[in-house]
Amino acid sequence: WLDKFGEADIPAAPINTVAEAVEDVQTRARGLIVQLEHPAIGTAKSIANPIRFSDTPVSFRLPPPLLGEHTAEILRGLGYSAEDMQTMAVESAT
């Protein structure tokens, strides 16, 4: 399809899988994948900030959260009580 689009002068590009995107030459050249130490799973790959600041470099201090790691904090911020959260947990509302 890409050849046909090219012949017709239609801009097009392939759609990569996540694995392909992570291994892409441009992704690697721009340093868009960083490795962070996670206390529960060890070394974890994460997406770096694609925005570059010349005078204020971006740092990566925290690993990506585990699934549900911040659920209670978010629900509290939305006004749910501890009792509400317990009810949701019992009813398997994850």
Residue 62 per-residue DSSP state: S
Identify the burial level of 11 via C-beta atoms within 10 angstroms of its C-beta, where 0-12 means exposed, 13-18 middle and 19 or more buried.
exposed
Given this model, what pLDDT does residue 40 score? 86
Given this model, what pLDDT does residue 39 score? 85
Altogether, the residues listed in the chain come to a count of 94
Given this model, what pLDDT does residue 4 score? 94
Given this model, what pLDDT does residue 41 score? 87
Please list the pLDDT of the chain residue by residue as tens digits (94 residues). Answer: 899 999 999 999 989 999 999 999 999 999 999 998 888 889 988 888 888 888 888 888 788 888 888 999 999 999 999 999 999 988 876 5
Given this model, what pLDDT does residue 91 score? 87
Helices (H), the chain: 2-7, 18-23, 25-29, 71-77, 82-90
